[in-house]
Amino acid sequence: MKKGDVLSVARIAAIQAAKRTAELIPLAHPLPLTRIAVDCSFDDQAHRLNIEVTAETLDRTGVEMEAMTAASIGLLTVYDMCKSVDRGMRIESLRLLEKSGGKSGHFKSE
């Protein structure tokens, strides 16, 4: 793309977003993140890009908001970088896949 390596820029944007979640979401509190992993994969048949974010902390709370904020911003970055080719792109199905720790314990999406 003209703007550069889309997936590399999206990864950086996602990591930055995870670190700044407390600034973006009212009443979210800042967390010391110990790991943020951003995995991008293509589904060629569906013409779909998937971004999955794993966030971890040693704190006593979950980091699902950090992971979902990161995924959202990563996808918005892809849209921004690719909109000159296709303005009809859609961002769909943002969801929590799995969470462990914190007060609410373990959650796994079906």
Tens of pLDDT along 27-63?
A: 998 999 999 999 999 999 999 999 999 999 998 888 9
Q: How far apart, in whole angstroms, are the C-alpha atoms of residue 74 and residue 64?
A: 15
Q: Where are the alpha helices (DSSP H) in 43-97?
A: 64-82
Phi/psi-derived region of residue 27, left when phi > 0, alpha when psi is between -120 and 50, beta in every other case: left
Mean pLDDT of 2-24: 94
> What tokens does 74 get?
């990563």
What is the structure's pLDDT at 96?
Answer: 94
May I ask the CATH architecture of the domain 6-88?
2-Layer Sandwich (3.30)
Q: Which of 29, 6, 5, 21 is nearest to 70 (CA)?
A: 21
Tens-place pLDDT, residues 60-87: 888 999 999 999 999 999 999 999 999 9
Active site residues: 80
The DSSP symbol for 60 reads S
pLDDT at 3: 79
Is the pLDDT at 103 greater than 90? The verdict is no
Residue 73: name the closest of 81, 61, 63 by CA: 81
pLDDT score of 91 more than 90: yes
pLDDT of residue 71: 98
- What are the residue boundaries of the structural domains of the chain, listed by start? 6-88
* Contact (Cβ atoms closer than 8 angstroms) between residue 74 and residue 67: no
Give yes or no for a contact between 49 and 40, defined as CB atoms under 8 angstroms apart: yes
